[in-house]
Amino acid sequence: MKYEAVIGLEIHVQIKTASKMFTAAPVGFGEEPNTLTDPVVLALPGVLPVMNKKAIDQIIKSGLLLGCDIAPVCKWDRKNYFYPDNPKNYQISQYDRPICVGGKVEIEMPGPSRNVMGDHHFVELTRIHLEEDVGKLNHFDNDSLVDYNRAGTPLMEIVTEPVMHSPEEAFAFLTALKQAMIYAGISDCDMEKGQLRCDANISIRPAGETKLGVKVELKNLNSITGVRNGIEFEINRQIRAVEKGESLVQETRRWNAEQGITTPMRSKEMAHDYRYFPDPDLMPVEVDEDWKARLRAELPELPFEKQRRYFEQFDLPYTLTSVLVPDRKLSAYFEEAVAAHPDKPQAVANWIANDLLRELSTAGRSITDSPIAPSQIAGLVKLVDGGTISNNIAKEVFIHMFQTGKDPEVIVEEKGLKQSTDTGELETWADEAIANNPASVEAWLGGKETAVNFLKGQVMKASKGKANPQIVDKILKEKLGALR
């Protein structure tokens, strides 16, 4: 029998803020244990939470970006469960009135090859709500150690509808979501740092069946490949089990990346009666149209929208857009360069996507501290365009630009790299080339058009590369034509 997998994702994204969700203690990663706490983070007797305005701004922005309805009023609830990483033994979260409802994320499925765009479609969201992160447990042989540094970090939970059907689709969703979040400055989404975490609800059903099968919640998908591999393993495990005639149980399983398997979890046992109730320490949030409009004005163009614009406005090929678009700073760099020289967007894109990124990566630098300014890239393209330098010389000029940060015009001037257009000199070299290479002349006269290239090479060589190839071509052809 053929089976269809049904996948829904629950994604936790840490919102980038300076202070925690409900107190001023600083947020950070990789600090010494228990150095990012205060009375509220530690849940000392008597403390009270106060919400972080920026975190609320950022979740509303996320909602607007992903087409969610923003609830006019939302409230805070306590989710009660005991766990050593949960200092209050309740987590402040949103239960029945989340701030963002609905919404959808455009995703791109893998194309037939890397150079060809794949199909696009939308994955529907159920909701997005705001809560606080918990601390971290470090497990040892005989005990566990608790670090509360992470506790209280603003955390967004994004829940999708159960509408995905393959690990690739889940992967594509996560990639698109991540890009959107990074684009809007909401989170850096670094999975290594736990800024983005993913749980998956996975079930299978016979193809054609509309009812959902028994759901397994899969946790610990800690990397983007982990999401793909973990989901893939779990789907196959379920299919194998059913095929063997075993019945599946609703459970929580854990992806073990080292062994490449999923195993049942026993933690938080009996914890499914969370006794949600409105947190009496916090007041509701009311979002009016003005607030939404203010945030809407700050929204970036989504990556796929930008890609479509690059196709239309600049006629860029897919491969170039897929280099430039995912990085908002890189695409901003590109657009600044194009603005300085709007005639040749493709050439500009090529310089950035190939030469500049290669040099930056060798130098271990990012686009934001590139030694070459966007206007300088534009200047370089302009010099080639206007015939001042050849493409080959331009490569040389580019390396100097990268090393010195100087304008391309200055480098060309200083190094005397300007193309020679002195026809007197060129004519002398052309005459010499014709005189010294009778075989090539013979071939050209015999109808072999390409034979001129060897002669051209000789002239270029004589000019030390500075001759303008188009002019050399013209002179040679005139002189050869006269020999007919």
Partner 1 sequence: MKHSIDIDYVANLARIALTDEEKETFSRQLDDVLGYIEKLNEVDVSGIEPTAHAFPVKNVWRDDVAGEAFPVETALANAPAKRQNMIVVPKVVE
Partner 2 sequence: MSKPIYYQTAAELADQLSAGELTSEELVRAVIDRTKKVEPQVQAFLSFDEEDALAQARASDARRKEGKALGPLDGIPVGIKDVLAVTGQPLTCASRMLEKFVSPYDATCIQKLKQAGAVLWGRLNMDEFAMGSSTENSAFQQTGNPWDTDRIPGGSSGGSAACVAAGEAIVSLGSDTGGSIRQPAALCGVVGLKPSYGLVSRYGLVAFASSLDQIGPFARGVEDAALLLQGIAGHDPRDSTSYKTEIPDYRAALKEKKGPWKLGIPKEYFGEGLDPEVEKAVRGAIEFYRKSGCEIVEVSLPHTQYAVAVYYIIATAEASSNLARYDGVRYTRRSDKAADAIDLYFQTRAEGFGQEVKRRIILGTYVLSSGYYDAYYLRAQKVRTLIRDDFMKAFEKVDALLTPTSPVPAFKKGERTADPLAMYLSDIFTISTNLAGLPGISIPCGFTGSGLPIGLQILGQPFAEADLLAIARHYEQAHDHHQQHPNLD
Q: Which residues bind partner 1 (CB under 8 A)?
A: 17-19, 23-27, 32-39, 42, 50-56, 73, 75, 82-84, 137-148, 254, 265-267, 270, 273, 275, 278, 280, 282-286
CB 163 within 8 A of CB 2: no
Is 90 a binding residue for partner 2 by CB under 8 A? The answer is yes
Q: Which does 147 bind (CB under 5 to 8 A by kind): partner 1, partner 2, none?
A: partner 1
The C-alpha atoms of residue 154 and residue 308 are separated, in whole angstroms, by 33
Residue number, 78 or 328, with CB nearest to partner 2: 78
Mask 240-279, x = binds partner 2 (CB under 8 A)? Answer: -----------------------------x---x-xxx--
Mask 20-59, x = binds partner 2 (CB under 8 A)? Answer: -------------------x--xxxxxxxxxx--------
Give the nearest distance from C-beta 29 to partner 1 in angstroms.
14
**Out of 16, 61, 78, 456, which residue is the one contacting partner 2 (CB under 8 A)?**
78
CB 149 within 8 A of CB 8: no
Give the nearest distance from C-beta 144 to partner 2 in angstroms.
7
321 DSSP 8-state letter = H
Give the nearest distance from C-beta 141 to partner 2 in angstroms.
14
Angle between helix axes 391-404 and 374-385 (nearest 10 degrees) is 160
Q: Which does 9 bind (CB under 5 to 8 A by kind): partner 2, partner 1, none?
A: none
Give the nearest distance from C-beta 55 to partner 2 in angstroms.
14
Is 350 a binding residue for partner 2 by CB under 8 A? The answer is no
Residue number, 78 or 127, with CB nearest to partner 2: 78
Residue number, 281 or 414, with CB nearest to partner 2: 281
Residue number, 139 or 244, with CB nearest to partner 1: 139
Q: How far is the CA of 210 from the CAs of 33, 162, 206, in angstroms?
A: 49, 12, 9
* Long-range contacts (CB closer than 8 Å, 24 or more residues apart) made by 469-476: 469/390, 470/387, 471/421, 471/423, 471/426, 472/426, 472/430, 475/423, 475/426, 475/427, 475/430, 476/430, 476/433, 476/434, 476/452
Q: Which does 214 bind (CB under 5 to 8 A by kind): partner 2, partner 1, none?
A: none
Nearest to 130 by CA among 317, 350, 339, 282: 282
The C-alpha atoms of residue 284 and residue 162 are separated, in whole angstroms, by 30
* The pair of three-digit structure tokens given for residue 262, joined into one six-digit string: 């999923």
Q: What are the backbone angles phi and psi of residue 262, rounded to the nearest 5°?
A: -110, 140
Give the nearest distance from C-beta 291 to partner 2 in angstroms.
18
Give the nearest distance from C-beta 60 to partner 1 in angstroms.
12
Q: Which does 90 bind (CB under 5 to 8 A by kind): partner 1, partner 2, none?
A: partner 2
Site stretch for partner 2 (CB under 8 A), options 74-82, 154-162, 171-179, 209-217? 74-82
Give the nearest distance from C-beta 84 to partner 2 in angstroms.
5
Q: Which does 47 bind (CB under 5 to 8 A by kind): partner 2, partner 1, none?
A: partner 2
Give the nearest distance from C-beta 216 to partner 2 in angstroms.
22
Q: What are the backbone angles phi and psi of residue 417, rounded to the nearest 5°?
A: -95, 5
CB 196 within 8 A of CB 226: no
Q: What's the number of CA atoms in the CB half-sphere (13 Å) around residue 314?
A: 27
Mask 139-178, x = binds partner 2 (CB under 8 A)? Answer: -----x-x--------------------------------
Conformation bin of residue 200: beta by default, left when phi > 0, alpha when psi is -120 to 50: beta
Q: What are the backbone angles phi and psi of residue 319, rounded to the nearest 5°?
A: -60, -40
Strands 154-160 and 136-139: unpaired
Site stretch for partner 2 (CB under 8 A), options 81-89, 99-107, 119-127, 365-373? 81-89
Residue number, 221 or 476, with CB nearest to partner 1: 221
The C-alpha atoms of residue 321 and residue 303 are separated, in whole angstroms, by 10
Q: Which does 201 bind (CB under 5 to 8 A by kind): partner 1, partner 2, none?
A: none
The C-alpha atoms of residue 356 and residue 108 are separated, in whole angstroms, by 27
* The pair of three-digit structure tokens given for residue 68, joined into one six-digit string: 């969610």
* The pair of three-digit structure tokens given for residue 343, joined into one six-digit string: 């005639």
Q: What is the DSSP string of 171-199?
A: HHHHHHHHHHHHHTTS----GGGTSEEEE
Q: Which does 2 bind (CB under 5 to 8 A by kind): partner 1, partner 2, none?
A: none
Cα Rg of the chain, angstroms: 31
Q: Which does 35 bind (CB under 5 to 8 A by kind): partner 2, partner 1, none?
A: partner 1
352 DSSP 8-state letter = I
* The pair of three-digit structure tokens given for residue 434, joined into one six-digit string: 């014709």
Give the nearest distance from C-beta 76 to partner 1 in angstroms.
10
CB 383 within 8 A of CB 393: no
| Binding region for partner 2 (CB under 8 A) | 39, 42-51, 78, 80, 82, 84, 87-90, 144, 146, 269, 273, 275-277, 280-283
